[in-house]
Amino acid sequence: MQIFMKSDVGLMRHTNQDDCAVGYLPNGAWAVVCDGMGGVQGGNVASALAVDLISSQIASSYRPGMGGKSIRNMLEVAFDAANMSIFETSCDIDGLRGMGTTATVVVVEGDTAYIAHAGDSRAYLISKDAISQVTRDHSIVQEMVEAGELTQSQARTHPNKHMITRALGVVHEVEMDYCEVSVQDGDVLILCTDGLSNYLEADEILQAERKGLADLCDRLVREANNRGGSDNITVAVLALASLQE
């Protein structure tokens, strides 16, 4: 397993409200990507709290050989703890009121990827020269696409594309979406914030991955900046064994 990550402020923002972390497990790896929101400092605080608490929960609770039920429970506990910490902090400090963050987490153990998320930060799976979006955006435009009111192309430039319907810390409880995906040697998982996905189509991410892993995060961030860089950009890559370079 190889893991890479990069977070960039972009070209238009003065601060980076994204945050991320990655780590190895005895038989796999994990990654978390968050995109904060809320005022000048709120987004920074929310994403940092989420990454810290989710990472700590994985570090303290993970045990080799955990089954899917136990991993899901671990992630639910992590999301609940992060949500409550962000929510309580926002209630206690006037300047942080209303802050929140997306969160997308993947834990890979053996031949399974366990994925949890809230918000519109995405997880993609590249397998056998094809790419698929594993997560579903929790956003207003995604609901409009599913209702047939917008095409995917229209959604990309819609004025409400940044309006999400679910995030950690906004209310005292949050629903976590969860799925399990079979993976094999040669597969690549990519987690990213919308600073990347708003600029690059899935097929373009696949084409970038085909050029190599070592500088993939750099190339994806650079391309998003070349196309405008209006938001913070964060990417985490987990590559299974046979893609090691």
CA distances from 179 to 114, 124, 165, 201 (A): 6, 13, 19, 22
CB within 8 Å of 208: residues ≥ 6 apart: 200, 216, 219, 220, 223
Distance CA 196, CA 219 (A): 11
Whether 7 has a pLDDT exceeding 70, the answer reads yes
pLDDT in tens, 191-229: 999 999 999 999 999 999 999 999 999 999 999 999 999
pLDDT value at 244 more than 60: no
Residue 129 φ/ψ region, left for φ over 0, alpha for ψ in the -120 to 50 degree band, beta for the rest: left
How many angstroms separate the CA atoms of 244 and 222, rounded?
Answer: 23
Looking at residue 203, what is its pLDDT? 96
What confidence score (pLDDT) does residue 40 get? 67
How many angstroms separate the CA atoms of 194 and 164, rounded? Answer: 11
Please give the pLDDT value at position 152. 77
Q: For the chain, give the mean pLDDT.
A: 94
Q: What domains does the chain contain, in order, with CATH numbers?
A: 2-243 (3.60.40.10)
pTM of the full structure: 0.94
Q: Are 31 and 103 in contact (CB under 8 A)?
A: no
Is pLDDT of 242 > 60? no
Instruction: Indicate whether 170 pLDDT > 70.
Output: yes
